Amino acid sequence: MVDIAIWTAVFFTLGIYSILYRENPWFRIAESCYLGVAVGYAVGQDLKYIRDQWGGQWSSSAGMMLLFAIVMIIGIFWYARFNKEYFYLYRWPLALVVGTGIGAALRTVIFSQFLAQITSQANTPFFVAGDMVGTINNILIQIMVPSVLLYFWFTGEIRESAPMKVVEKIARYTMMAGFGSAYGYTVLTRYSLFIGRAQFLLGIPPNPADSRMAFIVIAFVMLATMIGYDMFMKKE
Amino acid sequence: MSVWQKINKLDRRYTYLLAWIFVLFPLLNPLGLPIPISPDAHAWYDYVENEINDGDVVLFTPMYGVSGMPELFPMTVATMKHLLTKDVQIVVVSFWNQGPLVFNTLLTQVDPADYGYVYGEDWIRLGYIPGSETAMGSFAANIHTTVSADYVEGRSLDSFPMMADIQQGEDIDVIVSIETGTPGTPEWMRQFNAPFGTPQITGCIGVSVSGMIPYLQSGQLQALMPGLTVSAEYEILLNKPGLAVAGVDAVSTSHVYVTLLVIVGNLAYFMTREDN
Amino acid sequence: MSDVLRRIEIPIALTIIATLLQVIPYYFEIPALESAANTASNGVLLIVACATFVGVISIIQVHGKRIQRQSEGWYYSLLVIGLSVIMALTGLPFPEAGLGVNNSIYNWLFINVQTPLGGTMYSIIAFFITSAAFRAFRARNLEASIILVAGTIMVMGNAPLLTNYFPFIADVSLWIRSVPNLATMRGVMIGGALGSIALAVRTLMGIERGYLRGGGEE
């Protein structure tokens, strides 16, 4: 008995992976479905939130109901972006959203991303008793962090000065090592995602065992059609 | 054409094919490679085990969608299982629109009732709140006005006794955030850690790890779980091997493969540099 | 009247008011303002949720034109529009009519279409990274060599096979993460914080208007 759900999931998984061979209709089908479902999915979650909110504080009094109506009208202004004549209305909800977002971030960014980091940097001791490696690491941190900061802050002619040339070198080498670290973790992430999909394709528990057969059949069909088509075109 | 020139001109599809082989082989034939436990896994385990106390209010937030599931789902399941062995109050919320459905998938593998947790008394789901950081700020200011009803039964939060003492961000004792991007830890830091000093542990994809290290070093983050490998180590510490352990052999072989490619590619480059 | 409503100063003023409404109550204890700020931010969450159909309409516009003109690959556009409309309709919040987030079609499409596609779409980058590691990751000069060596050590450090038999690899990769990476990211974070404050101040002063562009006007 073929489980349509599993075969569908395997089909779409392999449809995406088929791009590794070359651009092909299987990939275009999968890509189109992804776009369609992704765009439509958010509608359910967003509208549920609006409905639940209406059931709460927004229907608790006449004043709140009026406010809710005003908010909904402003929310409808988003769709003015599709009309050239009324496009200016689209900027109003956008301005409110952007302004609120900036305000929410602005009020504490100075603490979480600035003061806390500077405090931590200042509290990093140059010398750690009984720990030579820790001491060297802390000294390196105390040299590297200001170098990176100065590298970003001071640009232009001042970079030509002798001290800034040294700072620039330290900063660049530090950042290259840092980006290398980022690369290493990027490889981990991408392969972890691939391994997760591979576990599904192979039917490794708790994934359904039926997906292995679906994987073999669908992979064979896709490869056969793509390679067969290429061979046919080569002959022509 | 020399061997090195041939290697330089190798069709990239052969590298893709080898990647498939290096991943599929250990999944089909588990190698049983040993898994050393890293300090990250110990830190995460120790924090959940020793620092989260009975009676604490834990904000459990799956902040990711299906794109991050392969890497983050194992750690989400393992952490949830660990939390359920304690006597805490768990509030589940997400600021990613796929978060609720990710949690639905978790519930097919972990049933809080099996651990004696009663919905509405010991744990509650608040669903998805749109608005990213603004939503998080609003949630911190007043939970009951930001979320009018729970996600499962659609009842007012005021009707749940456990929510009587959970009104705002101050009432949260610890945040467990499993995340893949924005909104994520920087937003949590701005909306919860800065105003309330709320402790937080974060599980994230590898790509995000580099940006988390300053928070970890400054003490704003109490523990960090960086990706699938450490998830596997955590599963071993918990004595509950799952998807992460099943996949870690493939992580090893694939990473050895990438390392070999870098070495061979550079050798080919240097050997053919003068010819070019 | 509509000329007045079109003025760019209105959205700029709205931005400023919305920003100050979030910032001032945080630093000053003014109960009325705090209550207004809370209601305002709850209202903004609803405004954000109201934008949910923008994506669907944009998709229908773009792909509808392709179908109309029968451009290359127009039949794929049928799939895009069809599925987005089905998801949007089945997700409508009318549980009494069997629609909403618990609708069986909505959930089936999410679990069997969205989940595999979403997980797979980002995983193919693994192959491109692999190809790049082989073809592009070259030690051409000192800086490239540093990034190459650091990156390769980090890759090895994430492989339990190697860290189990060569523990020093794990130590070195942890050092790279905890020292040069920390320095880089801390510097970026502090600089970024200052940059975001500067951008916010520019927005508050009405100098930064990039987010208001479009529509063929200023």
Distance from CA of B215 to the nearest CA of C (A): 9
Distance from CA of B87 to the nearest CA of C (A): 30
Residue A114 token pair: 């600035």
Please tell me what DSSP assigns to residue A114: I
- Of A58, B41, A220, the C-alpha closest to C38 is A58
Compute the residue count for chain C.
Answer: 218
Mean residue pLDDT across chain C: 91
Q: Do B130 and A101 touch (CB under 8 A)?
A: no
Contact C149/B at CB under 8 A: no
Which chains have 3 or more CB–CB distances shorter than 8 Å to chain C? Answer: A, B
Q: Do A9 and C188 touch (CB under 8 A)?
A: no
Q: Which chain B residues are within 8 Å of C22, Cβ to Cβ?
A: 137
DSSP chain C: -HHHHH-THHHHHHHHHHHHHHHHHHHS--HHHHHHHHHHHHHHHHHHHHTHHHHHHHHHHHHHHHHHHT-TTHHHHHHHHHHHHHHHHHTSS-GGGT-STT-HHHHHHIIIIIHHHHHHHHHTHHHHHHHHHHHT----SHHHHHHHHHHHHHHHHT-HHHHHH-HHHHHHHHHHHHTHHHHHHHHHHHHHHHHHHHHHHHHHTT---GGG--TT--
Q: Give the pLDDT of residue C216.
A: 57
The CB density around residue A7, as the number of other CB atoms within 10 Å, is: 18
Distances (CA, A) of A114 to A140, B53, B198: 20, 31, 18
Predicted confidence band of residue C218 (pLDDT cuts 50, 70, 90): very low
Q: How many A-C residue pairs are in contact by the CB < 8 A criterion?
A: 407
Phi and psi (nearest 5°) for A24? -160, 165
The CB density around residue B103, as the number of other CB atoms within 10 Å, is: 22
Q: Which residues pair with B119 in a beta bridge?
A: B123
Considering only CB atoms, A185 lies closest to which of B206, B217, B250, namely B206
Long-range Cβ contacts of A47-51 (<8 Å, 24+ apart):
A47/C49, A47/C52, A47/C91, A47/C92, A47/C93, A48/B127, A48/B128, A48/C93, A48/C100, A48/C101, A49/B127, A49/B128, A49/B129, A49/B130, A49/C45, A49/C46, A49/C49, A50/C46, A50/C49, A50/C50, A50/C93, A51/C93
Q: C158-183 as b/e, with b when 16 or more CB fall inside 10 Å?
A: bbbbbbeeeeebbebbbbbbbbbbbb
pLDDT tens for each residue of A6-37 = 999 999 999 999 999 999 999 999 999 999 99
Q: Which chain B residues are within 8 Å of C117, Cβ to Cβ?
A: 66
Domain ranges across chain C: 2-50, 52-123, 125-178
| B-chain residue closest to A49, CA distance | B129
The CB density around residue A109, as the number of other CB atoms within 10 Å, is: 22
Q: Which chain C residues are within 8 Å of A214, Cβ to Cβ?
A: none
Q: Do B15 and C131 touch (CB under 8 A)?
A: yes
Q: Which chain B residues are within 8 Å of A195, Cβ to Cβ?
A: 23, 27, 70, 228, 247, 250-251, 254
Query: What ipTM was predicted for this assembly?
Result: 0.91
Compute the residue count for chain B.
Answer: 276
Q: Which chain C residues are within 8 Å of B34, Cβ to Cβ?
A: 160, 164
Contact C148/B at CB under 8 A: yes
Q: Which residues pair with B149 in a beta bridge?
A: B156
Q: Do C215 and A107 touch (CB under 8 A)?
A: no
Residue A176 near residue C151, CB atoms below 8 Å: no
DSSP chain B: --HHHHHHT--HHHHHHHHHHHHHHHHHS------PPPHHHHHHHHIIIIIS-TT-EEEEEEE--GGGHHHHHHHHHHHHHHHHTS--EEEEEESSTTHHHHHHHHHTT--GGGGT--BTTTEEEEEE-SSHHHHHHHHHH-HHHH--B-TTT--BGGGSGGGTT--SGGG--EEEEEESSSSSHHHHIIIIIHHH---EEEEE-HHHHHHHHHHHHHTSSSEEEESHHHHHHHHHHHT---HHHHHHHHHHHHHHHHHHHHHHHHHHHHHHTTT-
Q: Which chain C residues are within 8 Å of B12, Cβ to Cβ?
A: 131, 134-135
Contact B29/A at CB under 8 A: no
Q: Do C114 and B66 touch (CB under 8 A)?
A: yes
- Amino acid (one-letter) located at B247: G
Residue B36 token pair: 């050393």
CB-based contacts of B184: which residues, under 8 Å, 6+ apart?
Answer: B63, B177, B202, B204, B208
pLDDT tens for each residue of A144-153 = 999 999 999 8
Residue A22 token pair: 């070359």
Residue B210 near residue A111, CB atoms below 8 Å: no
Residue A25 near residue C69, CB atoms below 8 Å: no
| B-chain residue closest to C159, CA distance | B252
Predicted confidence band of residue A138 (pLDDT cuts 50, 70, 90): very high
The CB density around residue A22, as the number of other CB atoms within 10 Å, is: 11
Q: Which chain A residues are within 8 Å of C50, Cβ to Cβ?
A: 46, 50, 72, 74-76, 78, 93
d(CA C143, CA B33): 35
Q: Which chain B residues are within 8 Å of C114, Cβ to Cβ?
A: 66, 98
CB-based contacts of C135: which residues, under 8 Å, 6+ apart?
Answer: B12, B265
Distance from CA of B208 to the nearest CA of C (A): 11
Note down pLDDT in tens along chain B; length 276 residues.
788 888 888 888 999 999 999 999 999 998 888 899 999 999 999 999 999 999 999 999 999 998 899 899 999 999 999 999 999 999 999 999 899 989 999 999 999 999 999 999 999 999 999 999 999 999 999 999 999 899 999 899 999 999 999 999 999 999 999 999 999 999 999 999 999 999 999 999 999 999 999 999 999 999 999 999 999 999 999 999 988 999 999 999 999 999 999 999 999 988 887 766
Distance from CA of B259 to the nearest CA of A (A): 10
Mutation for testing the A interface, residue in B218, B225, B229, B249 having most A CBs under 10 Å: B218
Q: Which chain A residues are within 8 Å of C66, Cβ to Cβ?
A: none
Q: Which residues pair with B58 in a beta bridge?
A: B90, B174
Q: Is the pLDDT of residue A155 over 50?
A: yes
Contact B194/C at CB under 8 A: no
Distance from CA of A60 to the nearest CA of C (A): 13
DSSP A127-191: --TT-HHHHHHHHHHHHHHHHHHHHHH--GGGGGSHHHHHHHHHHHHHHHHHHHHHHHHHHHHHH
Distances (CA, A) of C145 to A186, B263, C141, C151: 18, 12, 6, 10
Mutation for testing the C interface, residue in B109, B138, B193, B228 having most C CBs under 10 Å: B138
Q: Give the pLDDT of residue C208.
A: 84
Q: Give the pLDDT of residue A12.
A: 95
- Of B180, A225, A75, A12, the C-alpha closest to C83 is A12
Q: Do A5 and C112 touch (CB under 8 A)?
A: yes
d(CA C100, CA A60): 24
The CB density around residue A231, as the number of other CB atoms within 10 Å, is: 10
Q: Do B15 and C49 touch (CB under 8 A)?
A: no
Which chains have 3 or more CB–CB distances shorter than 8 Å to chain B? Answer: A, C
CB-based contacts of A66: which residues, under 8 Å, 6+ apart?
Answer: none
Which chains have 3 or more CB–CB distances shorter than 8 Å to chain A? Answer: B, C
Q: Which chain A residues are within 8 Å of B192, Cβ to Cβ?
A: none
Q: Do C45 and B261 touch (CB under 8 A)?
A: no
**CA neighbours within 13 Å on the CB side: how many for A6?**
18
- Of A56, A49, A57, A55, the C-alpha closest to A75 is A49
Please tell me what DSSP assigns to residue A81: G
Q: Is the pLDDT of residue C51 over 90?
A: yes
Q: Do A49 and B100 touch (CB under 8 A)?
A: no
d(CA B55, CA B76): 21
Q: Give the pLDDT of residue B276.
A: 61
Contact B26/C at CB under 8 A: no
Considering only CB atoms, A187 lies closest to which of B190, B243, B258, namely B258
d(CA C30, CA A144): 43
Q: Which domains can be identified in chain B, with CATH numbers?
A: 3-30+250-272 (no CATH), 39-241 (3.40.50)
Q: Is the pLDDT of residue C79 over 60?
A: yes
Between positions 203 and 222 of B, the ones with CB within 8 A of A are 205-207, 209-210, 214, 217-220
Q: Which residues pair with B94 in a beta bridge?
A: B128
Distances (CA, A) of A230 to A11, A216, B11, C76: 21, 21, 16, 22
Q: Which chain A residues are within 8 Å of C208, Cβ to Cβ?
A: none
Residue A44 near residue C106, CB atoms below 8 Å: yes
Q: Do A113 and B190 touch (CB under 8 A)?
A: yes
User: Mean per-residue pLDDT for A154-168?
Assistant: 88
